Every structure is written in structure tokens, then in C-alpha cells.
């Protein structure tokens, strides 16, 4: 089973790239973030014609998450539980039924939170707390659970080309980094770092200041595995080549292979 996550930064702008990557990388389940369209405007036909099952949680012009799966998707949850007033489309969860196993997969687009000291940062912290609470409940199911997406958190110094450049940013804020560690302490395993303990593994390169050509990247896209999913872990890596495409997303796909 191959599960991937990719902040596509606009499904309309990068549909061709997504279809190319799906054919080349061949993931079984893909978690998308920032589709930036309403559900009814998502180009479902292009994926159904290719044999995929689709579930979306969209929003006009902003945010939006989706699941693309070779296998049927059931038990779909749209929106992160814990705040019925939250209108931002940042979370979708479903069970993907593989012939040999079931996997509960969530696509996450955690708030950016910048600038710190504002309502945007407070929203991010509250959202993280809701994610922690929900992640804890999911562990009680004792399933192979995968929380994947753009977490907008740089966990450690090694996940950033220059900690000094990000020290005042919400992505590197101590409160957010501590929250990421709490998620790991609950029992979730950081798959990409577990498989690349000493390697430079960036997933995001800003469009500005020649970040891509200078390799001034950060790691903010994560795949977190429950203990049951960790038992199946084989390998995790980044399809970095997608960041070098014409008019790319500023993120590269991250994937994990499970038995």
C-alpha cells in the first residue's frame, strides 16, 4: 500500500501535473491539500475515468482537501471534529479498503498561523488542540491510521535550511513544535523522518528569493502513523522532482509504503 500527500496549491492550475504524477508514482491513496475549489467544481471526472474513488471537502478559492483512492472510501468525515462553527475546509478522513487490509487516512491542511500574536495564530493553536484530541480518539480504534498533509510545522532545526530565517515565523514557533512532539508522544510515528533519520528532507520551497534553486527548503508536510500502521512501515520518501516542473506547486509530494 502506497499512501501519499501533496499540497497541490490549486487543483485547477495543476491538474495536468497531478494526473502525470499519479500515473508515474502510482500511489494507492493520495491526500491533497489546497485544492482551492468548491466540491462541485473539483474535476472528478478526470479521476473517475482513470479508475479512482474521490472524496472532497472544498472551499471557494481557499483551503480545501481531498482523498483520491484506488479503493473504495467509506466512513467519510468532512471537517475536523470539535468546532461546529469552523467553516474552513482543512480536514477530510475516510477508510480505504485494500483487499488485504483497511487503512484510515486523513488529509490535513493545518492553518499557517502567521503573523504570530494575531487571531490567525490563535486559530492555529486551537486547531492543533482539536487535532490532538481527535488523534487520541482515533488511537482508541486500534486501526492502521495515517494522518497526512501540510501541517505547517517545522518540527526540528534539522527540518529547516536556516532556523534563524524562521525564528519569528508561526511554522517554527515553539508552541507549534511542542504540539508536534505531543502528537508523536501520543504514539504516532513521523514516517519520513523515521526512514530518513540523518538526511536532508525538505518538502516545501518558497516561490520567493530563489528558494528552489538554492535548496532553501523546509519540512512541513508530514505522514504520521499509528502504532498499527507503523508495524507495516517499509519506506517513506519525497518525489522532489515534481517541484522542478513548469509552474509547480511550492510543495513536493511525500509518500509512504506500507505492507
Contact present, 100 and 76 (Cβ < 8 Å): no
Q: What is the mean pLDDT of each run of 10 residues along the chain (259 residues)?
A: 98 97 98 98 95 97 97 97 97 94 97 97 98 98 98 97 94 98 97 95 95 97 98 98 97 97
Q: Is 111 helix (H, G, I), strand (E, B) or coil?
A: coil
How much is the pLDDT for 98?
A: 86
pTM, full prediction: 0.97
As a whole number of angstroms, the distance between CA 115 and CA 121 comes to 7
Contact present, 6 and 248 (Cβ < 8 Å): no
Pairing of strands 53-57, 29-33: unpaired
* Partners of residue 68 on adjacent β-strands: 30, 54
In the DSSP assignment, the letter for residue 160 is B
Q: Is 43 helix (H, G, I), strand (E, B) or coil?
A: coil
Buried (b) or exposed (e) across 206-242, using 16+ Cβ within 10 A? eeeeebbeeebbbbbbbbbbbebbbeebeebbbbbeb
Contact present, 242 and 255 (Cβ < 8 Å): no
Helices (H), the chain: 15-25, 44-48, 119-139, 163-166, 174-186, 191-195, 211-214, 227-230
As a whole number of angstroms, the distance between CA 190 and CA 183 comes to 9
The string of DSSP codes covering 211-247 is HHHHT--B--EEEEE-HHHHTTEEEEEE-GGGGGSSS
How much is the pLDDT for 100?
A: 84
Q: What are phi and psi of 171, to 5 degrees?
A: -65, -25
pLDDT digits (tens, 9 = 90+) for 88-134: 999 999 999 988 889 999 999 999 999 999 999 999 999 999 999 99
Q: Omega before 188 cis (within 30°)?
A: no
As a whole number of angstroms, the distance between CA 173 and CA 247 comes to 30
In the DSSP assignment, the letter for residue 141 is T
Amino acid at each position: 500500500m502506497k499512501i501519499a500527500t501533496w499540497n497541490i496549491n490549486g487543483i485547477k492550475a495543476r491538474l495536468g501535473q497531478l494526473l502525470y504524477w499519479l500515473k508515474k508514482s502510482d500511489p494507492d491513496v493520495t491526500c491533497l491539500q489546497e485544492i482551492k475549489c468548491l466540491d462541485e467544481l473539483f474535476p472528478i471526472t478526470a479521476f473517475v475515468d482513470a479508475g479512482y474513488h474521490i472524496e472532497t471537502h472544498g472551499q471557494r478559492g481557499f483551503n480545501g482537501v481531498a482523498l483520491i483512492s484506488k479503493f473504495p472510501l467509506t466512513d467519510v468525515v468532512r471537517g475536523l471534529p470539535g468546532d461546529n462553527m469552523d467553516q474552513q475546509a482543512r480536514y477530510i478522513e475516510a477508510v480505504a479498503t485494500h483487499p488485504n487490509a483497511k487503512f484510515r487516512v486523513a488529509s490535513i491542511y493545518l492553518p499557517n498561523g502567521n503573523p504570530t500574536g494575531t487571531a490567525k495564530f490563535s486559530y492555529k493553536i486551537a486547531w492543533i488542540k482539536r487535532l490532538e484530541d481527535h488523534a487520541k480518539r482515533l488511537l482508541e480504534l486500534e486501526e492502521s491510521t495515517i494522518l497526512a498533509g501540510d501541517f505547517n510545522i517545522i518540527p526540528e532545526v534539522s527540518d529547516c535550511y536556516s532556523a534563524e530565517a524562521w525564528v519569528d515565523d508561526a511554522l517554527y514557533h515553539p508552541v507549534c513544535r511542542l504540539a508536534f512532539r505531543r502528537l508523536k508522544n501520543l504514539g504516532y510515528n513521523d514516517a519520513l523522518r523515521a526512514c530518513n533519520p540523518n538526511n536532508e528532507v525538505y518538502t516545501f520551497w518558497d516561490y520567493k528569493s530563489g528558494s528552489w534553486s538554492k535548496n532553501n527548503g523546509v519540512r512541513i508536510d508530514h505522514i504520521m502513523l499509528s502504532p498499527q500502521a507503523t508495524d507495516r512501515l517499509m519506506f517513506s520518501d519525497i518525489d522532489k522532482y515534481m517541484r522542478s516542473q513548469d509552474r509547480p506547486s511550492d510543495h513536493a509530494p511525500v509518500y509512504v509504503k506500507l505492507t
